[in-house]
Structure 1
Amino acid sequence: MENKEYLSVEYKKAIFEQYSKGGATDTGSPEAQVALFTKRISHLTEHLKKNKKDNASRLGLLKLVGKRRKLLSYLAKKDINRYRAIIKELGIRK
């Protein structure tokens, strides 16, 4: 297995503290979830660059991208300013 530091409790808490409105305990806000998905997507992308035939991880990556897209669409419908802020902060595009 590769290193699992990116999924550790401390790593997730740091992400939630940085991107959510309620601190480390606010794990359900769309901003926090999008930030976590973005970090996981970037990690899986790097993994797939080295392991081109890992189709199981590729499927997981595609599911994560779909979940993130749905959350971003929801956020854009609910509050466009929060959507623009998270897009700018994470440096992603839809």
Structure 2
Amino acid sequence: MGLAKEHKTEIITKFGDSATDTGKAEVQVALFSRRIADLTGHLQQHPKDKHSRRGLLMLVGKRKRVLNYLKKVDIERYRKVLADLDLRK
């Protein structure tokens, strides 16, 4: 269950430098956050779906690792991403 192409390109252009800039940490965090939100909605409707729950937990871990990297490298970009995505940390 991935993101629709329109949503993905919208996120990439908003957080990246160009339309093909998918490697930037801010873009990765934004894409992970969108997928996490989608999976959370899915799990509210299907609470016994353990495989999707595992995928959700893995995505949360990936996002956390990328955020820790961003915090270590550039604290200002880290704070901006948290503010833009309304993440608590």
Say whether the fold is shared (TM-score over 0.5).
yes
Structure 1 runs of 4+ with >4 Å offset: none
Indicate whether 1:78 and 2:76 are aligned.
no
Q: How far apart, CA to CA, are the structure 1 residues paired with 2:55 and 2:20? A: 26
**1:88 CA drift (Å):** 0.2
Cα offsets for 1:8-67 (capped at 9, x unmatched): 2222111000111x2211000000000000000011001101100000000000000000
Equivalenced residue count is: 89
TM-score (norm. length: structure 1): 0.90
Higher relative contact order at CA 8 Å, sep ≥6: structure 1 or structure 2? 2
> Does 1:8 find its partner at 2:4?
yes
CA–CA distance in structure 2, aligned partners of residues 61 and 39 of structure 1: 11
Structure 2 residue aligned with 1:36: 31
Q: What are structure 1's unaligned runs of at least 5 residues?
A: none
Identity, % of aligned pairs? Answer: 51
Structure 2: gaps (5+ residues): none
